[in-house]
Structure 1
Amino acid sequence: MTEADAETESSPDPTGIWIEKYRPESLDDVKGHENIVPRLRKYVEQDDLPHLMFAGPAGVGKTASAGAIARELYGEDWREHFLELNASDERGIDVVRDRIKNFARSSFGGVEYRIIFLDEADALTSDAQSALRRTMEQFSHNTRFILSCNYSSQIIDPIQSRCAVFRFTELSDEAIEAQTREIAETEGISLTDDGVDALVYAAAGDMRKAINGLQAAAVMGEEVDEEAVFAITSTARPEEVERMVDQAIGGDFTAARATLEDLLTDRGLAGGDVIDQLHRSAWEFDLGEHETVRLLERLGEVDYRITEGANERLQLEAMLAHLALEDGT
C-alpha cells in the first residue's frame, strides 16, 4: 500500500455521506457517553481487551465505538485485524462455522489478538449463538469479540457471562445539538436555533437521524430552519400532535380525525410514527394525569394491534374515538 493509499483509507469518507464522513475516528470523538468512553479507554490503554457487548437503541454509537477501539489499537492497519459482520444479514450457524472461525484461525503477526465485531447479534439464531459461545472459548487466546445488539435479553446467558456489558442509552439533546452545530459550521451551513431544536426532536436520541436530517435539509436551501427539518424528516410538529389529542379529549372527534388525516395523508407519516411521537410527548402535553393515563393506555393497545397486523388508520381513529368519549369507556 502506498503512502497516498494509506492516507485515503484512514481519512473521512469521501463519498459525501455525512454519517460516514463524520464517523468517530477515536473514542474521544464518541459523543454523549461520558460514563462509557473512559472505561473503554482504560481497556485500550492497558491493551487488555475482554469480550465486549454493546446493548442499546440504534444510532447511539455502538458501531462507532467498536471501530474507534480497533483504530486506536491497530492504527492504520486496523482493517487487517478487524472483521465486521452483520448478524441480521447472516444469522445462521454457517456464518459462525465458516467466516468467524476462518478469521480467528488465520495467521497474523504484530498484535496479540484480533477483533471480530458482530453487529445486531440479537438476530442470531439460538443454534448460531450456541456455536458462537464455543468459538469464543476456543479462540479466546487470539481473538476478542465485540457484540452489538438492541436487546441484550435476546442473547443467551452463556455469551453474556463471557462479556463485559456496556449499555448505551439514547443520546442526550445536548450531545446531538453539539454535533449538529459542529457539522453545520464545518460544512458552512446556516443552522438556526429552531432548526437545531427540530433536529433534536426528530432524532429522538439517534445521532444518525440527526446527521441525515441535517444533510437532507441543507440540500433544500442555504438556511436550515425548523420548517425545512420537519418537511424533510416527515416529522409532525409537537404542537400538531398535541392539538389532535386536545381535540379528541375535548370531544371534537371530527376535528381530531381531520388532523390525523392530515398527518397520515398530506404529511406522509406512518401510523407507527404517530404513535412514537404521541408516546414521546405524552407527559409534555397540557393534560391532566387522568387524561394522560388514558392516552398511554390506548397507545399501548393500538401499538400492539398494529404490530400484530391491524390496519393503522382504523386503530388510530379508534383511539381518538375512545379519547373523545367523556368517560373513557
Structure 2
Amino acid sequence: MANYVPSATSIVSAQHVEIEPIDINNHVFVKPIKIITDQTELNKFLCTKQCKHFIDFIQRLGDKIVNKPNSTETKISNLTENIIKMIKELELWIDSIPPLAQPMRYGNKAYRTFYQKLVDNIEQLHQQILPQQFHKAIIELTPYFLDSMGNQTRLDYGTGHELHFVVWMYCLERIGAFDDEDEVAMALKLFPAYLELVRKLQRVYGLEPAGTHGVWSLDDYQFIPFIWGGAQLAGNTLNLKPSSILIEKTVDQYYQDYMYFACIKYINTVKKGPFHEHSRDLFNISGSSSWEKIQHGMMKKFFDDVMTKVPIIQHFLFGSIVHFTLNK
C-alpha cells in the first residue's frame, strides 16, 4: 500500500469527503512543519482523507465559479475585505523597497528586505484581519502565508508557494473564519488580488521560477488560476473559446475579468518569441474542444504535476488543521 498512488481521475471524480470539524474554542493549534521527505511518504499522504478533502476544496471553488467573471457580484465578508486591504498594503511595501542595482537577471536581494518586513509584521497583520476568537490560530496560519510569498533564501517563487496560499484560505475556512458562502469571493476576489501581488514580486525582484521550468510546463510560476480560470470560462456566452487565448486583442479585452486570460496576458508580457515556442503546453491545450474539458483536465494535471511531486510537497507544511502523521 505504501507505493500505491491514487490516480488523478479517481481523486478528481471522487465524491465529497467529510472530515472532523474544528472547534475553535477547544482546538490546540501548532506551528506547522515539513514532514514528507520521499515518494513513499508522499504516497501515504495522497491516500489520506485529509488530502482528498483539500483537493475537494480546490475543485469545489472551481465548480462554484463556472461562467462567473471576476466582476461577478457576490457576498464580500469583512474578512475578505480585510485580507484584500492587507494585500494592497503589501503591494505598497514593494513600492517602498525598490530593487537594488545588481547585474543578476534573477533574484534581487531587495526581496529579502521585503520578506523580512513581512516576517516581522506577520502576526500583527493577522491580528488586524481576524476577529479575536481566531487569534489563537495565528501560530498555525502565518507560516502558510509567509511561504505563499516565495522563498527568502533562494529568491524564488513557484507552484508550491502558490499552493500554500490556497492552503491558507482552506485553513481559514476549516477554523470557521470563512464559510461556504465565502467561497465564490475567495476564488473571484481574494485569489486574483493575491496573484497581482505575487506577480509584482516576481517582476520587481526578478524572483527565479522554483524548480525546473517553474510549474513543470504551464507557466513559470502559477497553476491554480488555470484550473479556476478554466472554470470561469466554462459555459460562457461571449464566444470565448480555448483558441481565443491566441488572439492578443481578445486577451487584452478580457484579462481583467478572467484568470485564464490574465495568465496568458502575463506570459505574453514577460516572455518573448512565438507563443507556441515558449508555452507549448498551453498552445496545445488551446486546441481543446471546450473549457469544461480544460477545467477537468487542469485539475487532473494539478494532481499529477504538483501534488505527486516530492520536490514540491517536501516543502508542504502540516499542523493540526492540515494534519498528517507518519506511522514508522
**Shorter-normalised TM-score: what interval?**
under 0.3
More strand by share: 1
Using structure 2 for the length normalisation, give the TM-score: 0.26
Using structure 1 for the length normalisation, give the TM-score: 0.26
Higher relative contact order (CA 8 A, sep 6+): 2
